[in-house]
Amino acid sequence: MGAAGVASFAGEIPVHYDRGLGPVLFHDFGDQMAVRAAAQAPSDVLELAGGTGIVSRRLRDRLPAAARLTVTDLAAPMLDVARSKFAAEEAVTFQTADACALPFADGAFDLAVCQFGVMFFPDKAKGFAEAFRVLRPGGRYLFSAWDAQPHNPMSIVTQRAVDRLLPDDPPRFYDVPFSYQEDLLDPTGRTVTISFRKLFLPQRFRARSNASSTTR
């Protein structure tokens, strides 16, 4: 995500993103991510593309009490919303950071987490290399990415609705998050083990107010 993309997550958008899209798209997957992260019993955790803290809050609730959590995102206004979800005494640090150029020392963490962020990294190989660089030997990187649109009917329905509303110049936002199906190679030269698990979680549209808040 470049400067233009970061600029688009400003003003009231982070709050609408958190309240509108969060319950529909991210909460259930965030629960799953937090369970998997906590199972590693880590001591130093780095969250990449932490956004408004949807996964961050779940991580802190499930991680060992002594574990340190560092939440990063490229957009400071998103982190402002995330910060509001935590008490001052909780062991959480927030830092604006580019996932493709992390401001951390080699081997600073034993677990890295990224929910639905890797698809937006402008240099994906660099993003993975940076994650591996800041991990200690034996560390793990847990990340999630959407499968293709045919496996996500919600994205198809939403894109068709936008196409009808804006026929002259429909935004193609969904082309990015639902088009990341690549072989993942380790650009660092280190030996890594990569495993994949597909999750099928029903997405519930429970309230019109949630949907409408994202279009204001």
Predicted pLDDT at 31: 95
- Classify residue 138 as left (phi > 0), alpha (psi -120 to 50) or beta: left
**Same-domain status, 22 and 56:** yes
**Same-domain status, 173 and 70:** no
**Same-domain status, 9 and 81:** yes
Neighbours of 75 (CB within 10 A): 22
**196 within domain boundaries:** no
3-state secondary structure of 54: helix
Predicted pLDDT at 3: 43
Q: Are 130 and 148 in contact (CB under 8 A)?
A: no
Query: Which of the residues in the chain have pLDDT under 50?
Result: 2-4, 7, 183, 185, 205, 207-216
Tokens 């698990």, located at residue: 197
The boundaries of the domain holding residue 166 are: 151-179
**184 within domain boundaries:** no
Q: CA-CA distance, 114 to 106, in Å (whole number)?
A: 18
